[in-house]
Amino acid sequence: MSEQTAMEQQVFQLSFQQDVAVVTMDVPGESVNTLKAEFADQVRAVLQQIRGAMTEQTVRGVVLISGKSNSFIAGADIAMLDACSTAAEAEALALAGHEVFAEIEQFPVPVVAAIHGTCLGGGLELAMACHWRVITDHEKTRLGLPEVQLGLLPGGGGTQRLPRLVGIAKSLDMMLTGKQLRAKQALKAKLADDMVPESILLNTAIALAKTGKPGKRQLKRDLMAKVLETNGPGRQLLFSQAKKQLLAKTKGNYPAPEAILAVVRHGIERGIKRGLAKEAKEFAKLVMTPESESLRQLFFATTEMKKDFGGGDAKPADISKALVLGGGLMGGGIANVTAIKAGIPTRIKDISEQGISHALQYSYERLQKQVKRRFVTKSQSIAQMAKLSGTLNYSGVKDADIVVEAVFEDLSLKHQMVADVEANCSEHTVFASNTSSLPIADIAAHAKRPENVIGLHYFSPVDKMPLVEVIAHDKTSDQTIATTVAFARKQGKTPIVVKDGAGFYVNRILALYVNEAAQLLLAGEPVDHIDRSLVQFGFPVGPMQLLDEVGIDVGSKIAPILQQHLGERFTAPAAFDKLLADDRKGKKNKRGFYQYKGGKGTKKVDESVYPLLGVSANQSLRQDDVIERCVLQMLNEAARCLEEGIIQSPRDGDIGAIFGIGFPPFLGGPFRYLDALGAAQVVNRLESLTKTHGSRFEPCDRLLQMAKDNESFY
């Protein structure tokens, strides 16, 4: 038996039940099924086998089901796309997929996709080529086309079949955002024909296969969809509005969404055959773009990171109970992701009943939104809230496996917290501090068990921001590191392990970026010009708006700590003291760089900020000059952090910047962007800026050496 035939038998197993051919897909050695190029021939072989069986026995239909416990097909193998060296190779892959899916679509008897768990990308495209789709009502069942998140468009017929199944507007919403539909949403959208409990999925699919192929499907549209989707002028308006909204979000930095719009429109106006041909061509072009290359590398980096616990060979300890110290905004958010997301019983300790009440309210409100949207049932929300409790003292915390401290940035207060936890919890309890700037070694200075003390720095808002920094000081044990990383992953976070030091990694590179924006403001550049420039570059918000969001008062507390430990380049402009003297804290008290009315930012600059700072706003710099000064500060400091061992690798630095502060993902992170610019070019610009603006722009030693040796980070 050849190697391919052996593999074929392992991936696609064929059996017959009740006159129906059941094809079970199970890629050996993988936790999920992914589509690979070599499977095309194997699918054809199975279909041929079924055709052969039809000459000898009654075969009324085919069911395609997964042998994996939690997924149908998670998508196409991204490494296969990464291996393409030309657009022609990528186009050939797409066309091969089109041929196989067309064969399924044209099969003489009905083909039913029986879907449980994730059905994404190429997996959904395969399912849409089938005649029927049955899904389970399980919470893990998700259907979507997330290719846009890799800088691509769906290349297996998705741009053509999805609009014909769910309508143009709904399909664009899914493809342009990468949004995944839950089971109920997929059924309502008519992407699925039936929804059943997992226990009867196969039997339901078999019964459906025996009913014959569906008749011509009539898409049920609401009035708005009828007006916009069923005639030329309506579609013209729909696509032009979609493009306008798209460019407002992407600033033209991402080519994939525009390509998706063009391909969908082409297929709707010219027919599915031409639409598929254009899809393959545009897909191939996108595979070759630097944007997609960067986004694919980010995908590989985060996947690789999931296997690394950062604690050498140490295995994470089990965590069955957690304690959160402090019921403020951060404490409430941390308790939420621990109890609700990770499912770990969590106790909140605060000095007041009001603090505990606020922290519990944080989770309650979020759960009620999910109940309202029918993502969870009322009974499920009650069960989840039952995992949260509060205390004014240390009662009921002896068995806590981890304590996350989220109190004020006050070193003596944090010392007290460590002492309290060591006195009231067990010897193995991990003490994790959510400090944003204080060195962890300082917090652990008087600890009896310093090996259990670690930093766990979350970003606000905790339930939305994906990154956490896990900060180990010299005495933190490998077991504590591994346990904390595993704990953060359970909370749905992407953790990076960083070395102890003031500001750690993310706040350190952010501080110089924001400081430079402040210098530009004090030189007379308007607030909105600075912010617009950096948003155009690819950041989600500009630095001045970010200061308003985080809190000007918070920034003012961090700056002196960074200056004390890291030097004069971190000195915040003295004029900023005038903002605090004028009680400007930002969005939280509706007084900052922007005006706030009715609780929302109007994105209109508060002009009174200029006379307060003693500046006359007058734009004199080009957008590119503003971008260069702020971004080069960040890049230089990122390289310095790698040089000092604050981060372990360029990979960690890129993930930290993208997930922590929204560094433009299409650029791949600070280190991939440094490679794209070239060390010599960056050093040249930094040296030029040093001559004009002073020593804060001096390039770090690592960049100087790399420029000299013509080296890159990757």
Residues designated catalytic = 469
**Where do the DSSP E strands lie in 91-234?**
111-115, 118-120, 132-136, 142-144, 180-182, 194-196
Alpha helices in 568-622 (DSSP H): 577-581, 609-613
Measured in degrees and rounded to the nearest 5, phi and psi for residue 487 equal -60, -45
Contact criterion met (CB below 8 Å) for 239 and 265: yes
Determine the Cα–Cα distance for residues 443 and 450; give it in Å rounded to an integer. 9
**What letter does residue 132 receive in the DSSP assignment?**
E
Measured in degrees and rounded to the nearest 5, phi and psi for residue 562 equal -65, -40
Burial of 427 (0-12, 13-18, 19+ CB in 10 A): exposed
Residue with tokens 């300790």: 349
Contact criterion met (CB below 8 Å) for 166 and 189: yes
**For the chain, how many residues are written?**
714
> What is the token pair recorded at 310?
């950062």
Q: What amino acid occupies position 321? A: K
Question: CB neighbours of 113 closer than 8 A, spacing ≥ 6?
Answer: 64, 72, 119, 126, 127, 130, 132, 133, 134, 205
Determine the Cα–Cα distance for residues 405 and 421; give it in Å rounded to an integer. 10
**What letter does residue 587 receive in the DSSP assignment?**
G
**What letter does residue 340 receive in the DSSP assignment?**
I
Alpha helices in 567-646 (DSSP H): 577-581, 609-613, 623-643
- CA-wise closest residue to 314 among 450, 484, 471: 484
- CA-wise closest residue to 395 among 355, 433, 349, 432: 349
Contact criterion met (CB below 8 Å) for 552 and 576: yes
> What is the token pair recorded at 38?
């070599």
Determine the Cα–Cα distance for residues 273 and 160; give it in Å rounded to an integer. 9
Question: CB neighbours of 72 closer than 8 A, spacing ≥ 6?
Answer: 33, 65, 66, 113, 114, 115, 116, 117, 118, 119, 123, 127
> What is the token pair recorded at 283?
């897909």
**What letter does residue 648 receive in the DSSP assignment?**
S
Determine the Cα–Cα distance for residues 183 and 134; give it in Å rounded to an integer. 10
The H or E element spanning position 167 is none
